[in-house]
Structure 1
């Protein structure tokens, strides 16, 4: 069992949320005569509780205020159960600070009253307040129950504070609630969302009884940590055990399929969602949009988006980023405007998606407009937004403006910001500027392996081979190898993976024969290899041979000899497609008459009849 930790006071929650707490809305001066005043107190009290439950379910704020007025006049607000129902009503009406006022005014606070206020803050995304009230409750010698523990662990999960969560777990062990299925499931979910998948699995394995929350939380934890195989195995076990999985379970498994680009498996799970009526869930919908988008089937993503009647913000964001990745830039702008007109307030992810769309279309003016619009919505740009703006300016060739933005940032520039700047320098062949930026980055101290590779390439492109060798040596000293370029395609239930110059595939002989034959056709159509993308110090003939057999070309050749002519070719790649391969694949699509869709680590490229959807801007 995990080692118990003491529950310690947390930071004052008002420091996290400095805005003043709103007061209860004014109650009407003339509350309706809802009851016969000659009836018994008990009957009046029962009617109030029943009405409060009904109004809470209907989310009718005006009726709730009228009933609250009657409760105050009749004097029954002192009863803890009535306070509980009032707190719950304001919580469900998304007025958690009104819930707090009811709680503060309650003369007697039972465990149920404490449970209501902690839940009100946790359910309305005010986790610090939830944990703080949990601490006050325990300090007041009121023991939590099976309703309070899950609310507290939910708050810890939102905060990502596993240390506080362990303290809550410790108390659950001391009070014997850790064996309760609801408490145990909430702890599994908390550890999983905090990235502590081993602790989550230990809790999961020790539970005497499991429910859909514990199974879903465990599957989500594996999916979040990229342990896709474990997530799929657990999902299969849940289905074999006749567990009634929910929309959160489906959403987590679909996330695994989208991250691994397992289109066929994702389609099967989509069918299962349809059979269980979870296909109309907005949570499942956003995962389905992401699945089809990441697998290169944008048409299916549009269909899912159009068929779900009630769309949450996650769905709007998923569809916007899908449009951005597939070069449907104008559609991304339309979606953003539709979202605003529907009364849906965009968040930081919404703006990140729209800035991404601007960046990959070279729309500097539009990008600057949306960057400024963030402030009108009260959203302070973060390092990801600055990375997108630097990327936008850099790709557009405005490298001086990009460097100026980096220097003026109110927060220290991160490695992703410098990586975006170096990418712009590489695209526009500003080798000296890239080398100078690399010098600045090295002054920051240790950097990630990905940025080390960018630094090495920047020095090599500028002819500063000694510095490039030093950057590569730093990678070796850290025990980090440069990420190998991979391309893969899905064929039925199999995934075929290729590396540059790969000879290990069972059809290697046919693949290379197809590439050589296709290469002759391409040369007749005007193809000349651009060996500047090979940065190694080797002769021209070796450079030609190296670039001719890049992984994406091998994958495309495999598809050409395997898939029927009417089937689009979809290739996934973990690195950015190089400029020479981009030119070559355009000619491949023209010579073969096939639609070729390639996803690199930035976006999708749809090649048809010698043209690419990115317009050669990527």
Structure 2
């Protein structure tokens, strides 16, 4: 043992080797466990499955595929490929670094446990292949709450909210599996995008949460606030928000954005002030909600002050922040000031920012000022994607009595609609 590294001079058994590697993985050097493992291997120290697992877990965070390939080859050499826990740990590494290798390994595994199946479902979900994820889900011999949560989250992430809700219903009523809070949060996230039907379904999920005495933690609370706010029931969102014992930046942000979305702009700013008093640091999305409330409420001075606060909080103003500020100042009639903001932007103004400015110009019937950015907009905007913006510019041409330009844009939009209609008919005829 005298030739071993100092940290291993006292080691006398396999479990101690594994613990030494585990301890190394918690050090500040992410490569230390791999170096330690290599030294042990070169010294001929017998390594067990725990040594392999701890090394794999630490090396996964290095995002270095060749290292994982090297460990995989060593696992094969040691004969540990049939060990289900080692294989599952290796599979998890491949899911993060090389999904093709993960698929090959999964098909070759002689034994699969429930964690192995769940890992692959999560992998397919990450790559947006929910159909293959569902196939694996249905093939599983047994499912736990993680399996259901992974599949439900997969549907929610790709916008298949009906399937997400349907699977949750099957989980409860057919399979009799009790959901956990992660599952409920995923379902509520989907309900927030389903309008009145989603609101009705979300209330049922909320009822289930209350009936089972679940703690209103940050994740569940935020999902409920978001669902009620997007459903237009701000009173319920506020009630849930007040009942939350702990609120993170996302909870506060969802409440601010929800209030602004429902037209309670002054209330949104009050929530933001309370957030600051609570010592919670706002993020970029928070300021988007705050500036949106100022823009729709016409709070010019507050909007300017909050915009300056973005940099004071160590953040960089984003395009969406400039769009809100330009709309706010332009809408109030200060079009020259709004134009100066566009010229001094630290980021390239996109069609959203320029469209906000043009909308304000139309409202105040100021074609001469709008003309300064129209050419820039037409260079980047496309009639097939930005039809509303083209219509806005056509209206501005009418205000400026530029009849030929207005007619040209309208003809361009009509022609584009005819192209899309012909393309749709071609697809329909091809499917017959």
TM-score range, shorter chain: 0.7 to 0.9
Counterpart selection for 1:100 from 30, 43, 54: 30
Alpha-carbon deviation of 1:285?
0.9
Partner of 1:360, secondary structure, is: helix
Match of 2:68 in 1: 137
Q: Distance in 1 between matches of 2:374 and 2:129?
A: 35
Other-structure match for 1:310: 246
Number of aligned residue pairs: give it: 384
Offset at residue 295 of structure 1 (A): 1.9
Question: When the two structures are superposed, what TM-score results if normalisation uses the length of structure 2?
Answer: 0.75
1:32-111 alignment, distance < 5 Å: 79-83=16-20, 85-86=22-23, 98=28, 100=30, 103=33, 106=36, 108=40, 110-111=51-52
Q: Cα–Cα, structure 1 residues 447 and 399, in superposed 2: closer, same or farther, change >3 Å?
A: farther
Shift of 1:351: 2.2
Q: CA deviation at 1:175?
A: 4.8
Report what 1:381 is aligned to: 317
TM-score (norm 1): 0.55
Gaps of 5+ in 1: 1-70, 91-96, 122-128, 157-163, 482-618
Partners of 1:269 and 1:235 lie apart in 2 by 10
User: Between Structure 1 and Structure 2, which shows a larger proportion of strand residues?
Assistant: 1
- For residues 232 and 320 of structure 1, the distance between their equivalents in structure 2, rounded to whole angstroms, comes to 27
Q: Where in structure 2 are the equivalents of 1:174-189 lying within 5 Å?
A: 175-176=108-109, 179-189=112-122
Q: Deviations over 1:314-353 (max 9, x none)?
A: 2122112122223444443343344345443332222222
Shift of the alpha carbon at 1:301? 0.9
**Does the Cα contact within 8 Å between 1:432 and 1:462 map onto a contact in 2?**
no
How far apart are residue 148 of structure 1 and its match?
4.8
Kindly indicate whether residue 360 of structure 2 is the aligned counterpart of residue 430 of structure 1. Answer: no
Instruction: Verify: 1:471 aligned to 2:408, yes or no.
Output: no
Partner of 2:102: 169
CA distance in 1, matches of 2:296, 2:353: 16
Q: Which residue of 2 aligns with 1:296?
A: 232
1:362 aligns with 2:293: no
Deviations 1:41-79 (A, max 9, x none): xxxxxxxxxxxxxxxxxxxxxxxxxxxxxx979956994
- Output aligned runs, 1:180-329, within 5 Å: 180-239=113-172, 240-261=174-195, 262=197, 263-278=199-214, 280-329=216-265
Is contact 2:189–2:227 with CA below 8 Å preserved after alignment?
Answer: yes
* Aligned mates of 1:346, 1:426 — CA distance in 2: 34
Alpha-carbon distance in 1 for matches of 2:336, 2:291: 19
Relative contact order, CA 8 A, sep 6+: which one is greater? 1
Could you say if the C-alpha distance between residues 194 and 435 of structure 1 is closer, same or farther in structure 2, counting changes exceeding 3 Å? farther
1:250-279 alpha-carbon deviations (Å, 9 max, x no partner): 122212222122322221110011223445
Tell me the SS of whatever aligns to 2:28. Answer: helix
- Runs of 5+ unmatched residues, structure 2: 1-5, 42-50, 76-85, 399-405, 424-432
Corresponding residue for 2:46?
A: none
Q: 1:476–1:255: structure 2 CA closer, same or farther, 3 Å change rule?
A: farther
Distance 1:398 1:479 in 2: 41
Distance 1:410 1:363, change over 3 A: same
Q: Is the 8 A contact 2:224 2:237 kept in 1?
A: yes
8 Å CA contact 1:146, 1:183 repeated in 2: yes
User: For the Cα contact (< 8 Å) 1:258–1:295, is it kept in 2?
Assistant: yes
